[in-house]
Structure 1
């Protein structure tokens, strides 16, 4: 993804996978189905919840299941099913869905800026967590109405589809490309900043109420 000076931010996988935080089955998610992945790739992708600062939220609003495996179409990065709280990611995603050099506002989806498939899958995981937030967190729905402001500049084509997609794409951009989001769409950046402030207050209140 070209930055303002024409360079491309380094999105290669530098992290040591054995130091990655991993969601805990029974605490953040009811069941994990990761049979299609190596241990290292699974830990890398699931660390997206930590990078997005959503682990405390998931402790209170856990997913029923996370399933990472082949889905019916290579163009489908993932999906969230609100009725069942099941989140799925596609291991068969097409090569055209990552490694993009498109500029902000012209990229198909923020996850396309991932320079490897697993980096893109980590970003798609955060995107789908955004849908879980919209279904379960009281303030997320109201915050997503920022998409209706005439001054918004959606970070991706997908963010233009509807307010839910605007919210989820802004969450991914804030997590992985905060500077680009600030420059391109300050409204989206403020929306996610406000979300995180609300999540911090709630976590603080829960900690204060514990004996």
Structure 2
């Protein structure tokens, strides 16, 4: 904020644009993280739903493939979830937030790419594209209604809805990450220019 005020005194129009665009991109990413986390939990439920069906019909290959993607979706849900949101809005958030932070630090330490919103957006895009086959019933093996989808008629559209939301959210997350990166680079170059002028 002090950088923005200082830059505003030196160059008002440019500085105000940089500050507003940077804060807007950061706000968009935080909103995206909350939505992406919810979508990924949705994906976990649908994958478990499919796993039950594949086990019942003895489709071992599809069962293994589905089983592999359950922890991927669950991990993405945790990595996209904001620690501040958990601490503020979740029941027992003060106890859950440190555990979530520890999990995110552990995963990011072993796989550094998982700590970036752009990586989470790409993973969500992967899950969205992968689910298109299931959503469109493109093959006989995936043309079925699982236990959850059979509960009521609207639930039959859970997979198509997930696919659309996942792809749209992932593209929005990628765009927000690019905007934030450009704003940070512009602010960094602006601070370097201020340093040169000061010298």
**TM superposition score category, shorter chain reference:** under 0.3
TM-score normalised according to structure 1 size: 0.24
Q: From the two aligned structures, give the one with the greater helix fraction.
A: 2
Larger Rg: 2
TM-score normalised according to structure 2 size: 0.25
Q: From the two aligned structures, give the one with the greater strand fraction.
A: 1
Higher RCO, Cα 8 Å, sep 6+: 2
